[in-house]
Amino acid sequence: MLSLGVVLWGLMGSSASGADLLERVKNQEIAQVLRLRAGLNDTPAVGLSPTAAVNEMEHYDKSFKGEDKKSTEMKITY
């Protein structure tokens, strides 16, 4: 995982955003090492009420409507 972060950082250059990305990759790698058995926990995450979760999912689904009408082409300016 760390080598992927280094490659991405190298592609982005040595800008501040590249350094931030590298730091985030390092932190994620450390978190994965510290919690090796986290994937074995099958209890659901808590924090949102069912009503709030349904509302969030409806909002998320609505955010994709009308996307067919928009152009998905990237405009490159020189």
pLDDT tens over the chain, length 78 residues: 556 666 665 665 555 577 788 898 998 888 888 888 877 888 877 788 889 989 999 999 988 886 555 555 666 776
What is the predicted pLDDT for the residue at 10? 63
What is the predicted pLDDT for the residue at 59? 92
What is the predicted pLDDT for the residue at 43? 82
d(CA 41, CA 23): 27
d(CA 60, CA 3): 33
Tally of CA atoms within 13 A in the half-sphere of 77 that contains its CB: 0
Q: pTM of this prediction?
A: 0.30
What is the predicted pLDDT for the residue at 56? 92
